[in-house]
Amino acid sequence: MFALSLQSLTTIFKHLIPYLASVSSQIHIILITNLTLISSETTEEENKKKKKKKRNMKYNEISHFSHPQHILKFEYTEVPFKCDGCKEVGIGSRYRCSFCDFDLHMHCAIPSLSISHPFYTKCSFQFLSRPPGDTPRYCNACEKDVTGFVYHCKTCGFDLHPCCAKLPMVLDDGEVKLYLYRKVSSPCHRCGRKGRSWSYQSACKKYNLHVACVREMLVENWHELYFGGGKGSRKLQSQIPSLKNTLQTAHKRSKGKVKKCCEMAALALQFIISAVLGDPTALIAGVIGALMSRA
C-alpha cells in the first residue's frame, strides 16, 4: 500500500471524469462532489501553511515575491546600497536578505498596487516588477533609466521610480523647508539650467536643486561612497563650491548671511539626497554631514 497526496488524487480524478461520466451521470456527480471536497481541503491545507509561516515571522520581517526563497529582515544602514528591486541607490531603512546580499528600499519592499500623484492628476500609476515593453524607459521625475520596479501609467505612458513616486512634497525639519515642484523657473544650483526634472526649492526661493542632479551626484560617486571609506564624501563636498559661489553673489554685503545660507544649502542637500535615496528621515552624517562644515 502507498499513500497518495491530495494533489495526486485531484489530478487522477480530473483525468477519470471524462471517461466515467459517460457511463453514469450519477458517478459523474459523485466524482465532481469529491473533487470539490478534495480541492477545498488542499486550499485549506495551503492556507494553514501560509498562516503558520506568517505567525513564525517577526514584526520586522516580510516575505517578498522578488525573493521568495528567504525572509527579508528590516534594518537601518548609513552605508549606501543598491536596491535589487528598482536597481537604484539607497540608504537608511531597507529590507535585506543577508544570505544572498539582497536589498530592497522600503518603498520597493512594501509597494502600493496603484497610486496617484498630484503632478499627474489624470494618471493612475500601477506598480510593475519591470518596465513594460521592449523599448528603454526613463523616470519622469529624475530622467534616469527605469530598469526594475516601476510605477507606470498605461494611459499616458509616464513612469516613476518607486522612491521618486514617493518623494515628499515638503521636506521640513523646523529649520529648513523645501518644496517639491514639477518645474521651476529659477536655475538649478548644480547644473545652472532651468526646467529639466522635478526640483526641490527652498521656501525663500533662493535654493533649488533638480532631483536629476542629485541622482547624477550619487551615480558619479557611487563606488567611492560604497567602497572608498569616505572618499565619496569628499567628492560630494567638491560639488558644493558652485552652490557657495551662487549664494555669495546673492549676498555680497553680508558675510553672516553667506555663512548661514551655505549652512542651509548643505542641510537642504542632505535632506534631498536622503529623500531621493528612499528615506527622507535618514541621518547620513557619515556620508553627507561634512558638507555642512565645509559649505
Residue 193 in domain: no
Contacts of 269 (CB under 8 A, 6+ apart): 209, 214, 240, 243, 288, 291
One domain for residues 21 and 90: no
> Which three cell numbers, joined as nine digits, stand for 83?
536596491
One domain for residues 72 and 130: no
pLDDT by residue, tens only, the chain of 295 residues:
445 555 565 565 555 555 555 555 555 555 555 556 555 656 666 666 655 555 556 678 999 999 999 999 999 887 788 999 999 988 889 999 999 999 999 999 999 999 999 999 999 999 999 999 999 999 999 989 999 999 999 999 999 999 999 988 987 766 678 889 998 888 888 888 887 789 988 888 878 888 888 777 766 665 555 555 444 444 444 443 344 444 444 444 445 554 555 566 666 666 677 777 777 665 444 444 433 333 3
Residue 188 in domain: no
Distance (Å, whole) CA 86 – CA 230: 25
Residue 199 in domain: no
Give pLDDT, residue 72.
97
One domain for residues 120 and 93: no
One domain for residues 289 and 235: yes
One domain for residues 96 and 133: no
Distance (Å, whole) CA 288 – CA 240: 11
- Order of all β-strands in the sheet with 159-160: 114-117, 120-128, 150-152, 159-160
One domain for residues 226 and 280: yes
One domain for residues 23 and 70: no
With contact defined as beta carbons under 8 Å apart, do 260 and 168 qualify? no
Residue 275 in domain: yes
Distance (Å, whole) CA 206 – CA 188: 10
Cα within 13 Å of Cα(13), Cβ side: 20
Contacts of 33 (CB under 8 A, 6+ apart): none
One domain for residues 97 and 121: no
Distance (Å, whole) CA 36 – CA 13: 10
Give pLDDT, residue 14.
57
Which residues form the domain of 257?
A: 167-174+211-294
One domain for residues 94 and 47: no
Residue 202 in domain: no
One domain for residues 239 and 272: yes
Rounded to 10 deg, the angle between the 241-250 and 255-276 helix axes is: 140
Residue 83 in domain: yes
One domain for residues 105 and 139: no
Residue 287 in domain: yes
Say how many domains are in the chain. 4
Residue 286 in domain: yes
pTM of the model as a whole: 0.67
Cite the DSSP H helix spans in the chain. Answer: 6-21, 25-56, 106-109, 162-165, 211-220, 222-227, 231-237, 241-250, 255-276, 290-294
One domain for residues 276 and 242: yes
